[in-house]
């Protein structure tokens, strides 16, 4: 049925198996009942027989469709405007965008009825989206939504979601956890939507967690360079993206690899303040304090390093071991030196009941020994050695390939000297042991007046003053008086020790000694002279 510009007062009821078409304007006062479809002005208003309504569309696909089908030339398929210049409007335009353009602020509010009452939208109200379903911002399979980014606080998002703080120091993105979680949680999943690969968050019980669910390592970078890596098995690498699997911490840096310490018992480093580092190992008993490995203490004028103890905050070590290996592939190594709890030091030797220092020769040496080198010399040294048949104390090569004597001192004074040529003197010279080869002597003369010199000597019995030689206190001694011998055989009197000897309150300056060895030749001469006289008397 086709009607051209009807004007009807009352009700109009049309029942037709076909369609009702109106051409031109139509004025109806009352109700219009149409069985079938209604087409006004060639599709300006169309009601299909199934009940779909189309405005500007004669083939509505939904209960209400405003505008023609989507196309690149469509100007506006839906436009609701309440203000001039479309300030308050909603529509769908040809760029396939749906927009809501408020005059001031966009509000989605919950809990207010606008059909009555004075509650209106307030520009200061927060924007709230309340729903019991998910709100998803995501590309879908349709070619209409293959690209796009969401910007919060910015008109130039650089990622799918970009959030910019509104002012300096403000929080750009905040996440609040559920009441049961306490802390917020960010989860990253694979494109299957179910496989979690990374979680950032935590709870009151577990604390903050950065959880990589994959078998790949986790890396942290600065200036686009990886600085730290945590492998899937827990090894930490600093300066390397492939930490060694045999260590918990692998630092790849050839400079100062590790710097530790701070103000004592603090987390600060104050200038010109004592700095302390304590390194410890867990105790066998969990409840006890850890064991001290090292203590470093830097304070005014001093840098102290203590191994095995030195702090009341940790238990001290009971023994310290030093090990080495013969090559670069040996495991464990061999014990070379040990300091045990009673203070004994052993080198290549098990602790014994004797001696603070015990030394044993290595298997590739024929003797045990200690070499003490002179400062600045690689050749001049004192050697203490033990062979299978003898013990040796000696001085080896001196500077320039020469040798040096061995000297025994007390009170910083020479007491006994073993010369390079083998002579032994007290405190030096040859008065104890020397060569007598004529090839080593010159200016040889015969001693005279031996008998008169011997007869002039005054052998005496005496005791040392108390505590001069404590082991010989009150012991009767035989000898000579040095001053008396000096007037008879001056060659037999020498200085004794240093410049002075102090015994209690007594000080003896420039003490003298008698070299009894020099009296022997005079005694022999006296016997010879006496023998000559006896022979002379017998011949008469």
Indicate the domain borders of the chain: 218-251, 445-539
pLDDT band at 138 (very low <50, low <70, confident <90, very high): very low
Q: What is the mean pLDDT of residues 327-347?
A: 91
Q: Is the model's pLDDT at 72 over the cut of 60?
A: no
- Reported confidence tier of residue 130, pLDDT bands at 50, 70, 90: very low
How far apart are alpha carbons 524 and 464 in whole angstroms?
29
Which has the higher per-residue pLDDT, 110 or 187? 187
- Mean pLDDT across 100-113: 49
State the Cα–Cα distance between residues 460 and 474, nearest whole angstrom: 15
204 in Cβ contact with 179 (< 8 Å) = no
* 388-415 average pLDDT score: 74
pLDDT above 60 (res 142): no
**Confidence at residue 119, expressed as pLDDT on a 0 to 100 scale:** 45
293 in Cβ contact with 281 (< 8 Å) = yes
What does each C-alpha distance from 141 to 100, 191, 195 come to in angstroms?
24, 13, 21
- Within 8 A by CB and 6+ apart from 247, the residues are 235
Between 63 and 268, whose confidence is greater? 268
Length of the chain (residues): 540
Tell me which range, 192-196, 266-270, 392-396, 410-414, is most confidently predicted by mean pLDDT: 266-270
Residue 87 confidence (pLDDT) above 70: no
Task: Give the three-class secondary structure for 407.
Answer: strand
Residue 418 CA to residue 18 CA, distance in Å, equals: 142
518: Cβ contacts below 8 Å, ≥ 6 apart: 431, 489, 491, 492
Q: What percent of the chain has pLDDT over 90?
A: 38
Residue 116 has pLDDT above 60, yes or no: no
pLDDT interval class at 5 (50, 70, 90): low
- Which class is domain 445-539? mainly alpha
Indicate whether 278 pLDDT > 80.
yes
pLDDT, tens digit, for every residue of 365-379?
555 677 777 776 666
3-state secondary structure of 256: coil
CA distance linking residue 493 with residue 40, whole number of Å: 153
Residue whose C-alpha is closest to residue 218's, from 226, 185, 515, 192: 226
pLDDT value of residue 172: 80
Cα–Cα–Cα angle for 530, 535, 537, nearest 5°? 95
Question: Which among 99, 53, 59 is positioned nearest to 76, based on CA atoms?
Answer: 99
What pLDDT was estimated at residue 144?
Answer: 39
Name the token pair of 24: 């031109």
Q: Which long-range contacts (CB under 8 A, 24 or more apart) does 253-258 make?
A: none
What local confidence, expressed as pLDDT, does residue 384 receive?
77
pLDDT at 162: 83
pLDDT greater at residue 290 or residue 41: 290
Whether the per-residue pLDDT at 134 is higher than 60: the answer is no
Predicted confidence band of residue 265 (pLDDT cuts 50, 70, 90): very high
Q: What are phi and psi of 73, to 5 degrees?
A: -100, -5
More confident residue, 21 or 426: 426
- What is the rounded radius of gyration, in angstroms, for the C-alpha atoms of the chain? 56
pLDDT in tens, 320-332: 999 999 899 999 9
Identify the CA nearest to 514 among candidates 478, 480, 477.
480
Greater model confidence, 135 or 58: 58
pLDDT at 313 over 70: yes
Residue 216 corresponds to which tokens in the numbers above?
A: 């790949």
Q: Is the pLDDT of residue 175 over 70?
A: yes
- Strand, helix or coil for residue 487: helix
Tell me the average pLDDT across 324-348.
91
* Average pLDDT in the chain: 79
For residue 9, the model assigns a pLDDT of 55
Q: Tell me whether the omega of the peptide bond preceding residue 348 falls within 30 degrees of 0, making it cis.
A: no
Give residue-wise pLDDT tens across range 237-254: 999 999 999 999 999 999
> What is the C-alpha separation between 77 and 91, in angstroms, rounded?
7
Helix (H/G/I), strand (E/B), else coil: 525: helix
Lowest average pLDDT, out of 57-66, 102-111, 157-166, 421-430, goes to 102-111
């Amino acid at each position: 049925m086709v009607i051209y510009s009807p004007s009807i007062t009352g009700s109009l009821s049309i029942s037709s198996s076909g369609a009702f078409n109106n051409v031109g304007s139509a004025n109806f006062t009352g109700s219009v009942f149409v069985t079938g479809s209604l087409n006004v002005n060639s599709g300006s208003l169309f009601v299909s027989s199934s009940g779909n309504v189309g405005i500007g569309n004669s083939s509505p696909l939904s209960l209400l469709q405003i505008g023609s089908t989507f196309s690149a030339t469509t100007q506006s398929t839906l436009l609701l405007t309440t203000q001039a210049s479309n300030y308050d409007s909603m529509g769908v335009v040809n760029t396939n965008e749906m927009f809501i353009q408020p005059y001031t602020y966009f509000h989605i509010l919950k809990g207010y009825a606008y059909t009555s009452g004075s509650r209106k939208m307030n520009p200061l109200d927060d924007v709230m989206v309340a729903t019991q379903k998910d709100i998803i911002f995501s590309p879908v399979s349709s070619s209409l939504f293959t690209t796009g980014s969401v910007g919060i606080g910015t008109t130039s998002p650089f990622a799918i979601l970009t959030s910019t703080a509104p002012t300096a120091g403000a929080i750009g993105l905040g996440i609040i956890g559920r009441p049961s979680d306490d802390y917020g949680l960010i989860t990253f999943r694979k494109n299957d939507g179910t496989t979690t690969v990374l979680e950032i968050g935590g709870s009151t019980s577990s604390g903050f967690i950065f959880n990589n669910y994959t078998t790949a390592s986790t890396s942290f970078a600065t200036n686009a360079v990886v600085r730290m890596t945590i492998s899937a098995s827990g090894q930490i690498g600093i300066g390397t993206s492939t930490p060694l699997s045999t260590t918990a911490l692998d630092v790849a840096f050839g400079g100062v690899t590790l710097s530790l310490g701070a103000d004592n018992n603090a987390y600060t480093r104050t200038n010109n303040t004592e700095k302390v580092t304590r390194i410890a190992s867990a105790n066998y008993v969990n409840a006890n304090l850890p064991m001290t490995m090292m203590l470093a203490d830097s304070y005014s004028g001093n840098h102290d390093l203590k191994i095995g103890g030195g702090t009341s905050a940790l238990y001290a070590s009971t023994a310290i071991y030093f090990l080495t290996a013969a090559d670069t592939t040996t495991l464990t190594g061999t014990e070379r030196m040990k300091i045990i709890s009673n203070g004994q030091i052993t080198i290549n030797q098990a602790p014994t009941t004797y001696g603070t220092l015990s030394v044993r020769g290595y298997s590739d040496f024929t003797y045990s020994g200690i070499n003490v080198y002179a400062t600045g010399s690689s050749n001049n040294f004192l050697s203490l050695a033990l062979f299978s048949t003898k013990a040796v104390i000696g001085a080896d090569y001196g500077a320039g390939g020469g040798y040096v004597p061995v000297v025994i001192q007390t009170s910083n004074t020479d007491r006994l000297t073993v010369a390079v040529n083998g002579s032994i003197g007290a405190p030096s010279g040859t008065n104890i042991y020397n060569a007598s080869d004529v090839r080593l002597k010159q200016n040889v003369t015969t001693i005279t007046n031996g008998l008169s010199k011997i007869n002039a000597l005054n052998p005496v019995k005496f005791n040392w003053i108390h505590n001069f030689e404590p082991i010989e206190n009150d012991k009767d001694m035989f000898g000579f008086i040095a001053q008396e011998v000096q007037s008879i055989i001056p060659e037999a009197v020498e200085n004794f020790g240093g410049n002075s000897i102090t015994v209690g309150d007594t000080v003896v300056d420039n003490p003298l000694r008698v070299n009894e060895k020099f009296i022997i030749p005079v005694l022999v001469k006296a016997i010879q002279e006496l023998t000559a006289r006896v022979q002379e008397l017998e011949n008469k």
